[in-house]
Amino acid sequence: MKVGDKIKLDFAGKKKDAVVFRLFPNSVHLKIDFEKDKGKIVKRKLSQVGDKKSASGKEKKKSS
């Protein structure tokens, strides 16, 4: 994940399009467009946003 990447985010039960605004070792700031608030910055932990493919790959390696 790099700054400027577009990702999908679960927000309030809906899928929202988000752009990575800032990236930190344990968290990420995402820019999301809402109906009444365009360009809102939302902070999330990398574990909540991270790729599910990489997380499942780690689980497979541990179980082997």
Report pLDDT digits (tens) over 9-61.
888 888 889 999 999 999 999 999 988 989 899 999 988 887 555 444 455 55
Question: Cα 14–35–43 angle (5° rounding)?
Answer: 60
Domain presence at residue 25: yes
Domain presence at residue 40: yes
Q: Assign residue 62 a region: left if phi > 0, alpha if psi is -120 to 50, beta otherwise?
A: alpha
* Residue whose tokens read 């995402």: 30
Domain presence at residue 56: yes
**pTM of the predicted model as reported, rounded to 2 decimal places:** 0.69
Nearest 5°: phi and psi at 57?
Answer: -65, -35
Q: How many domains are contained in the chain?
A: 1
Domain presence at residue 1: no
Q: Which domain holds residue 38?
A: 6-63
